[in-house]
Structure 1
Amino acid sequence: MAIDFTMSAEQRKIQKMAREFSENILAPVIPASDKEPDPMLAYQKTKGAYIEAYKAGIAMAMLPKEYGGAGLSCLDYVIACEEITSIDPGFACTCLCNGLGLMPVLWYGSEEQKKRFLGAATSDPTGTYLSAWTAGEPPGGTGGTANFDSPLPKAGIGMTAVREGDHFVINGKKKWSSSPGWDGLGTNTQTAIIRTDSSVGGTEGLSAIVIERGTPGITWTFLNKEGHRTTSNAFVVFKDAKVPVDNLLPGAVGNGDLVINRNFAWSGPVAAIAAVGVARAAYEDALKFLKKNTAGSLTPIIRFQNAGYIMGDVAAKIESARYFAWRAADYLDKHSQHAELIGAMCKINVTETMIDCVYKCMQIVGVNSLSTEYKFGKYLREASILPIYDGGNMGMQRRRVHGIIADENFNPRAIMDDDFVKFEKSMEAIGTVADPVSKSRGIMQAAE
């Protein structure tokens, strides 16, 4: 990308295509989907739009052309995503989760696996193909997405895969899998983070395995959510599910923890641009309201300083947030889709800033922003989700940033100089154990 932030002719074409799809095909189905109380039916109401997105190359846009994808760069993808998220970030999440499920195959799979799984994902004649990302686990016990990198031997991911001959036998529970499929019987594939070596705990012994639809021993349940109701998440139970050993991603053996960090760094600028899209929509709607209504005065509300100043601040924050998302995506493109530091910083900064922008719009519109006649309630629901998913800003996202900058070899000017910042296992788990020095002393004293 040129430093003057000028989009190329091809990028403008991508933006135009995504905008036309979003406004003409997606927008009409969202109101009914968002209001549908049954989470499965709500999801299914977007299926027709998804098929059109698949045919247009949007649903698998992040995959390389050599495997049948659209071959968009991370930056191109972010530009397209803003247009979709300005209409509905939930639907955009459905498409993004294809990437969360399939990018690990691209990064860590064998050539045979890439052709098999990515090729199938991009050549579905029905246009309904879905992939899922299955990493987080239910709270309580050892689970929970945000504590997956705890170094304690009995913490972190508890789902296990035990090898028996040419299969793994998988047992455990997962929560927040990105989709249970259109019918609740599973996506075409899901990439799951599983403990393949139970002799070690914490971040050790984790791997990534691709699990295909129809595998016996797996049950899916739709989760009912406050926001992102147009997409789906699942609670998944594995009971003696047998998966071929050939589905283990060889580059991820023992490094499932790094797969999680890389995946959520890759999605960082996408989550950020989703927040930009939501805030942009709220800002544009608020501006229309303020120019149209007088609130009983002799002039439209926008003519008052308070309204004008606040809306000007909101506009500036949206612009700066967009450029941060572009910058993080550009960094991904330049560094082999590694952005563990700037991807997290971007997601944290932008998603939290955009919540404030949406609320500021509601304040200026006033009590009418609560009316279902307008969309501000939905904007607030959607914006509030973005900081708490992908491991959570107050969970793994900030912890990753902390772990990197605390490293003795960290160069604080690396991002500014566009240098590669490597993320290593030694940077995980920082701050996850309370006062480890005191605890270790207590253990030693007890031993004495």
Structure 2
Amino acid sequence: MAIDFELTDDQRKIKDQAREFAQEVLRPVADRADALPDPQDAFRATKPVYEQAAALGYPAMFLPAEYGGGGASTVDFLIAIEELCAVDPGFPTTLLVNGLALMPLLQWGTEAQRERWIGAAAADVRGDFLAGWVVSERGGTANFDHPSPQAGIQLVADHDRARGEYVLHGEKHWPCNAGGWDLGGADVNLCVVRTDRRAGGKEALSAVLVERGTPGVRYEVIDTMAHRTCQNVTMTFRGARVPEENLLAPGDGDLLVNRNFTWSAPIAAMAAVAVARGAYDFALKWARTYTGGGAGPIIEHQAVGHLLTEIAAKIEAGRYLCWKAAHYLDASDGEAHALAGMNKTFCGDLMQSVVVDCMRIVGVNALDRKFPLARLYREAMVFPLYDAGNLAMQRRRAWGVMADAAFTPDTFVDGERIPFTKAMEGYGVTSEIG
């Protein structure tokens, strides 16, 4: 079978439509929203954009067709994400987090849960539905699979068997979308919880679906330096009760976390590529017209020409690694834990340097806020830090797969599928808590 990087006619339509939407609908709103001092106001300012995105099917693009979604492949979704994130990476994060909250239902949810929540998301053409992915905590969750009950996830869900409910106590920090448009809560928040206070992370974790309006839940918005068009909150639980039927992945919350960040990794990686592409687009145009006081445009200088070729090569390499990881993920039914993690860390780190190189070409004018590079620099700082973090879960997951005897240097080029197991977890966790 030939290796083909050419877009199909349908994929070109996806690209063209997403680029037009990004330039004509998203850009003017995102530029204004980023400058708003209140982070919730910045998030709410994108609501009209989200409504138009819903009409085009973007929030449901990746959901299965059998539940009313668009049924797009991960590669197709990446093509759209690149165009959106080249203009503003915050708004597409809202779309991504809808997926992080709903995709686990396909693997661990009941049919009733899938029909209710995936169906509701897919049926939303007005742009009202939001879902939140709630895993991170203030003390950090990089060691979520630690063998000590005192480490990792500390939001506890105690089982009240008499009432058929789980009672939640604790706090989550950084979840996106979770507060909803009005801080009354997303329509549903998928929360990773500790359902066994005595066991370690490989046995004690599960997930629960917390519905909008659940008493005992409070939301406080976090004021971030970048990605200001998406929402991050601190979410506090004080005796919040959810019915037993809202539980999923009992005892396998660790696997749910790993698989979910595997799905999101190529998307986050492509977002990094897109921000770098936005900087490159500006720097290239600048170099073709700016003289620096010389006789001709600075692109005629060897130092600038050489640096631009390196920038272009890094962006191309990053994009194709994203496509490869997404294709491998689709072909292996989500079992792309190592390659996806490598993809996210590679692009997240590399694209930071690309943005900085673009600023070097533009020079001191890159600091002028009337140009886009100052904002793109802020946005680029996010990618090594979010979506499981490049120093934490993403690399540890790849490490665990590579340590397995089934892994070889030919695994990815041959398209071999390696199922991710609990034996691959726990690599690099901190020592036992004394």
Sort the TM-score into its range (normalised by shorter chain).
Answer: over 0.9
> Per-residue displacement from partner, 1:181-210 (whole Å, max 9, x unpaired)?
111111011111011122313332101111
Aligned partner of 1:156 in structure 2 is: 152
Letter in 1 for 2:299: I
Q: Which residue does the alignment assign to 1:301?
A: 298
Counterpart of 2:151 in 1: which secondary structure?
A: coil
Residue of structure 1 in register with 2:264 after alignment: 267
1:119 aligns with 2:119: yes
Q: Distance in 2 between matches of 1:106 and 1:128?
A: 22
Partner Cα separation in structure 1 for residue 394 and residue 373 of structure 2: 27
> Take 2:368 and 2:141, find their aligned partners in 1: how far apart are those partners?
35
CA distance in 2, matches of 1:152, 1:123: 42
Are 1:430 and 2:430 an aligned pair? no
Give aligned pairs, total. Answer: 431
State the Cα deviation string for residues 352-373 of structure 1 (Å, max 9, x = none). Answer: 1111100000011111100102
Alignment of 1:314-353 (within 5 A): 314-353=311-350
- Give the match for residue 244 of structure 1: 243
- The 1-side partners of 2:67 and 2:61 are apart by 11
- Whether the 8 Å contact between 1:85 and 1:278 is mirrored in structure 2 is yes
Amino acid at match of 1:244: P
Q: Tell me the SS of whatever aligns to 2:314.
A: helix
Within 5 Å, which residues of 2 pair with 1:103-118? 103-118=103-118
SS at match of 1:190: strand
Shift of the alpha carbon at 1:37?
1.0
Taking only the aligned residue pairs, the percentage that are identical comes to 45
Q: Which residue among 143, 154, 159 is the counterpart of 1:147?
A: 143
CA distance in 2, matches of 1:421, 1:89: 31
Q: Is the 1:264–1:390 contact (alpha carbons within 8 Å) kept by the matching residues of 2? A: yes
The answer (yes or no) to whether the contact 1:208–1:256 under 8 Å persists in 2 is yes
Aligned to 2:190: 191
Q: Larger deviation: 154-163 or 121-130?
A: 121-130
- Describe the superposition over 1:322-379 as per-residue Cα deviations: whole angstroms up to 9, x where unpaired: 0000000001110112211111000011111111100000011111100102111111
Q: Distance in 2 between matches of 1:23 and 1:125?
A: 21
Local SS of the residue matching 2:22: helix
Q: Is the 8 A contact 1:136 1:145 kept in 2?
A: yes
In 2: Cα distance, 1:340 partner to 1:52 partner: 33
Shift of 1:412: 2.8
1:174 correspondence with 2:172: yes
Structure 1 runs (4+) greater than 4 angstroms displaced: none
Amino acid at match of 2:239: D
CA deviation digits over 1:253-279, x for unaligned, max 9?
101011111111101110111011101
Structure 2 Cα separation of the partners of residues 409 and 55 of structure 1: 45
Aligned to 1:73: 73
TM-score, normalised relative to structure 2: 0.97
Q: Which of 379, 382, 385 does residue 382 from structure 2 map onto?
A: 385
* C-alpha contact (below 8 Å) 1:156/1:203 kept by paired residues: no
Contact 1:98 1:131 in 2 (8 A): yes
Match of 1:257 among 250, 254, 257: 254
CA contact (8 A) 1:290 1:365 kept: yes
Name the amino acid aligned to 2:415.
D
Mapped partners of 1:311, 1:419: distance in 2 = 36
Equivalence map 1:128-143=2 (5 Å): 128-139=128-139
Task: Say if 1:61 and 1:69, in contact at 8 Å, map to a contact too.
Answer: yes
The aligned runs of 1:410-425 (5 Å cut-off) are: 410-425=407-422
Measured in 2, the distance between the counterparts of 1:300 and 1:366 equals 14
Shift of 1:178: 1.1
Unaligned 5+ runs, structure 1: 444-448
User: 1:383 and 1:291 mapped to 2: Cα distance?
Assistant: 24
Residues 1:2 and 1:242: Cα distance change in structure 2 (over 3 Å)? farther
Deviations 1:41-73 (A, max 9, x none): 000111100010011100121101111111111
1:32 corresponds to which residue? 32
Partner amino acid, structure 2, of 1:121: A
Please report how far the alpha carbon of residue 125 of structure 1 lies from its aligned counterpart in structure 2 after TM superposition: 5.5
The offset of 1:153, in angstroms, is 2.9
User: Are residues 373 and 209 of structure 1, via their aligned partners in 2, closer, same or farther at CA, if it must alter by over 3 Å?
Assistant: same
* TM-score, normalised relative to structure 1: 0.94
Q: For 1:344-383, what aligned pairs fall within 5 Å after superposition?
A: 344-383=341-380
2:15 maps to which residue?
15
Give yes or no for contact 2:401–2:420 (8 Å, CA) kept in 1. Answer: yes
Q: Deviations over 1:230-258 (max 9, x none)?
A: 11111000111110111112xx1101011
1:382 deviates by 0.8
Q: CA deviation at 1:409?
A: 3.5
* Mapped partners of 2:294, 2:203: distance in 1: 65
Q: Which amino acid aligns with 2:152?
A: G
Deviation (angstroms), 1:13: 1.1
Partner of 1:226: 225
Gaps of at least 5 residues in structure 2 are: none
Match for 1:216: what amino acid?
Answer: P
> 1:446 maps to which residue?
none
CA RMSD of the aligned region, Å?
A: 1.4
Cα distance change, pair 120–82 in 1 and its aligned pair in 2 (3 A): same
Q: CA deviation at 1:2?
A: 5.9
Aligned counterparts of 1:243 and 1:386: Cα–Cα separation in 2: 33
Partner of 1:405: 402
Residue 204 of structure 1 aligns to a residue whose secondary structure is helix
Cα distance in 2 for residues equivalent to 1:60 and 1:123: 8
Deviation at 1:19, TM superposition (A): 1.0
**What secondary structure sits across from 1:289 in the alignment?**
helix
User: Counterpart in 1 of 2:308?
Assistant: 311
The Cα shift of 1:20 comes to 1.2
Verify the 8 A CA contact 1:341 1:421 in the aligned structure 2: no
